[in-house]
Amino acid sequence: MQTTKAVQYFQFVPFVLLTFFAILPNPTLSAEPFEFLQDLKGVHIGQTAPGSLDAETVKQMMMPRCGRADVVDAEPGKRKNDQDVLAASAPEKWSSSHLTYRFSSNSTILDKVDTQTLKYAISQAFAKWEAVSNFKFTEETNEDVGADMVIGFHKGDLGDGSKFDDQMGVVAHAFPPNDGRFYFDAGDKWSTLPESDTMDLESVAAHEIGHLLGLEHIFEQNTIMYPVFQPGSTKRQVQVNDVKALRAIYGS
């Protein structure tokens, strides 16, 4: 990579770190863009060893993804493994296996997805997690009754630390137990039959439901909990390592 291109990429590193990893870059690293960008590749794709910032890495970094920050060590390029995370602090978890969810009444209406189709896609995403766990999820339709989880479609800054950009950057984010908030970026294009410029509702919902249950990102591309989404594609099946992560929290 040419020096000028490396510097250009380096200029957006602070944005990537703050948006995707919730850490501030060390200003003393600015004199060594190549080394730092190599470390950043390791952070982004879950490697502990540094690598060159190739075209595929840049492509992955610029793809739509979940807005939940990843768990990293203070040292650039080093990611905490599952044992480290669990040892540092036990993840929050739900005390009940029967959870309710409702759709936010102040959500932005989607242009190309009707309410019935939307609700069916979300219910299917919940069903995927029901099939591999002891959880039971029920939609609460009475707005006067509280629900464990609230799902909404919103634009811009919600004041929760994860701003939507309406440009297929951060497309959704959710919070761990017992918060229950789960938001899609209403400014992005959504569908249940995604094309090259649209996101699959059920696939992204399945990922974010994992966060609602307490899971962190898993850096294996076939898993539901992989943080990067491919526009126009679907990933709706919970995988073995997704299940292992869930059972590490709740037991078998």
Cα dihedral 113, 167, 122, 219 sign: positive
Reported as a single tens digit per residue, the pLDDT across 185-230 is: 998 999 999 999 999 999 999 999 999 999 999 989 999 999 999 9
Q: What is the pTM of this model?
A: 0.75
- % pLDDT > 90, the chain: 48
* Residue 146, domain CATH: 3.40.390.10
Residue 95 has pLDDT above 90, yes or no: yes
Phi, psi (degrees; rounded to nearest 5) at 185: -80, 110
Report yes or no: 171 and 184 within 8 Å, Cβ to Cβ.
yes
Diameter of the chain measured on Cα atoms: 59
Provide the residue range defining the domain that includes 15: 6-62
Same domain, 102 and 58: no
User: Of 62, 89, 108, which marks where a domain is finished?
Assistant: 62
75 found inside a domain: no
Q: Is 143 a residue of the active site?
A: no
Q: What is the pLDDT of residue 155?
A: 82
Binding residues for Zn(2+): 66, 160, 173, 207, 211, 217, 225
Binding residues for Ca(2+): 148, 165, 185
156 found inside a domain: yes
Reported as a single tens digit per residue, the pLDDT across 161-189 is: 677 776 777 899 999 999 999 999 998 99
80 found inside a domain: no
Calculate the average pLDDT of the chain: 77
Same domain, 58 and 103: no
Structural domain total, the chain? 2
Same domain, 36 and 153: no
113 found inside a domain: yes
Q: What is the full DSSP assignment across 109-177?
A: PPSS--HHHHHHHHHHHHHHHHTTSS-EEEE---TTS--SEEEEEE-S--SSS----SSSSEEEEE--T
The residue annotated as part of the active site, out of 35, 195, 202, 208, is 208
Same domain, 120 and 15: no
Same domain, 34 and 102: no
Same domain, 225 and 141: yes
Same domain, 104 and 172: yes
